[in-house]
Structure 1
């Protein structure tokens, strides 16, 4: 029985982030829509506990012989440690040296366009493996036309590039006590790229609480210190850290507006998730966010607190049209649709080689 291997290592990362959500949701959707004679299996590096990489409908996970750091180095330097399977989907650029049937998802071009928002090692590693993917993979998947255009500029190669967007998942809400009323919500790993420093400066002019969901990432972004520096009262800043999908559904549904002030993104899944939940969205003018929002949100200039405050005030004062347009926009993106497009790629390569 032919096997599609999905590299699910991102689910075991200390901070899985948006690429972790993508990995889990796409793998589950691929398994749910697998052709009758195919199976889908997850594969990871060696870990003591593989439980976080278990996905309903996906076999495994099966662990390779090397731990994460060693596997990353082995693949970076070209060791042909194949993860098995007849075709392989890498939901992030962590992928083996290409053989026929390898498809790699590249989420953004931040390592080329905004390397200062990553660690130097991280930026260099991503540039190297992204260039290898466009040079040697059977195909590359990107989430937006904006990323496709930037990839053609910074990492051109013979691998065909396919734009396949993400989907929206409606989690079952779970109780979450102690939320303030009428708050602005931001979602994402707390790191320089997310533009949360600009948001905090803007919130000084918006007389609402700010709730931030997401784990602490690299870069030592101290939101409490930023609030003190800009004069945002601490009682108007709530840092929730990492929450479950069900808790996030509750936090999202109660928000007055979602703010996505990122300096760079490849897609921006929280924008669609907020729209699907009937929450107005304000986003930066990062090209991918503008593309995903499709005119259903309000755009603010990056790194401009005054313009961000203007956009937030507009969304808070006139939410109804944004809610309607947002729901219509979000309905265009499904994980089932993404999985169907990815299956077409893999089955096409399989047919051409057998």
Structure 2
């Protein structure tokens, strides 16, 4: 009985971020749609507590006899410690340096930011990702990317013989599930949510452009609304409170909620007046898709991936342009008729993406390349 191994190590990272969300949702969807005869298991490095990597329907997690640092160093040096199984899916570039004989390897590359915007990562992080992506393109059977613009960047910066497949993300069921009015109210009170607000969702780090958003919200012509920020702190020491002070955002207008459960995020999304996604670079942009799916208008920077995902349903502005961002947010809030049209378009656009579809496409790849590898 062939086994698909999903490397779920990202779920144990200090800040799992969007790639952690991808790992969990994709692994669960793969397990829910397993072809006859296959099984799915999760594998991680050694940690004291593996519980964050437990996924319903996925066996394990099983821990390899190495720390995360040791496993990373081993694979970085080309030592092909195979994590087990007949086919391996790496949801991030942390992957074996190549497949074993008779086995198959597929790696997801979320973006080419380490090549296009290395200044938005640590120097070590950019160098490691560049090397890992080049290795995967050269030795994996296939590379999965979330958007066509990432596929184009991959061909430009890390060309290789691996097959490249564009497979988008989805929206978690927990965000799509209806929420009773009483629960909406109770959660809003518990989180201290304002009655209306501009929302930003994502890891708090330089690439997300939250500094530009705070500057925009402090403009006199910005919407007279509070700003709510959801997401864990990442690298780069982005101090949102200090930025608010620097740009003159009135005290009490900034609400930083940190990381939330999907259930709470669903409430925060639904109550938002508009989602702002001012990123300097992205490979997909899950918050944009999730906001559109629940009927929230979106203002996003015109980086290629966000433009592709929004599909014209959002309002786009140049990155690093606080004035344009403030004006676009104000226009969305002040023009409900036009905004309603965009909301309807966003809901329709979001229906083109699902984790079930992503899993089905990935199973086609995995079974195809495993069949090819096993007959060699």
Q: TM-score range by the shorter chain?
A: over 0.9
Are 1:192 and 2:206 counterparts? yes
**Equivalent residues in 2 for 1:1-354, closer than 5 Å:** 1-99=1-99, 100-171=103-174, 172=177, 175-177=187-189, 178-205=192-219, 206=222, 207-318=224-335, 319-354=339-374
CA distance in 2, matches of 1:308, 1:219: 23
CA distance in 1, matches of 2:37, 2:17: 33
Listed one character per residue, the Cα deviations across residues 216-237 of structure 1 (whole Å, up to 9, x for unaligned) are 1111111111111111012000
In 2, are the aligned partners of 1:170 and 1:249 still within 8 Å (CA)? no
Listed one character per residue, the Cα deviations across residues 36-65 of structure 1 (whole Å, up to 9, x for unaligned) are 210000000001111000000000000000
Q: How far off its partner does 1:79 sit?
A: 1.1
CA distance in 2, matches of 1:267, 1:222: 25
In 2, are the aligned partners of 1:91 and 1:104 still within 8 Å (CA)? yes
CA distance in 1, matches of 2:252, 2:373: 61
Q: TM-score under structure 1 normalisation? A: 0.98
Listed one character per residue, the Cα deviations across residues 13-43 of structure 1 (whole Å, up to 9, x for unaligned) are 1100000000000000000000121000000
In 2, are the aligned partners of 1:224 and 1:234 still within 8 Å (CA)? no
Q: How far off its partner does 1:187 sit?
A: 0.4
Q: TM-score under structure 2 normalisation? A: 0.93
| SS of corresponding position for 2:200 | strand
Q: Report how many aligned residue pairs link the two structures.
A: 354
CA distance in 2, matches of 1:113, 1:77: 24
Q: How far off its partner does 1:323 sit?
A: 1.0
| SS of corresponding position for 1:349 | helix
In 2, are the aligned partners of 1:136 and 1:159 still within 8 Å (CA)? yes
| SS of corresponding position for 1:238 | strand
Q: How far off its partner does 1:80 sit?
A: 1.3
CA distance in 1, matches of 2:368, 2:360: 12
**RMSD, aligned CA:** 0.9
Q: How far off its partner does 1:200 sit?
A: 0.5
Q: How far off its partner does 1:278 sit?
A: 0.6
| SS of corresponding position for 1:235 | coil
Comparing 174-183 with 318-327, which one deviates more in the overlay?
A: 174-183
Listed one character per residue, the Cα deviations across residues 67-119 of structure 1 (whole Å, up to 9, x for unaligned) are 11111111111111100000000000000111141000000000000000000
Q: How far off its partner does 1:321 sit?
A: 1.0
CA distance in 1, matches of 2:123, 2:251: 33
CA distance in 2, matches of 1:283, 1:58: 35
CA distance in 2, matches of 1:81, 1:259: 42
CA distance in 2, matches of 1:310, 1:26: 37
Q: How far off its partner does 1:310 sit?
A: 1.4
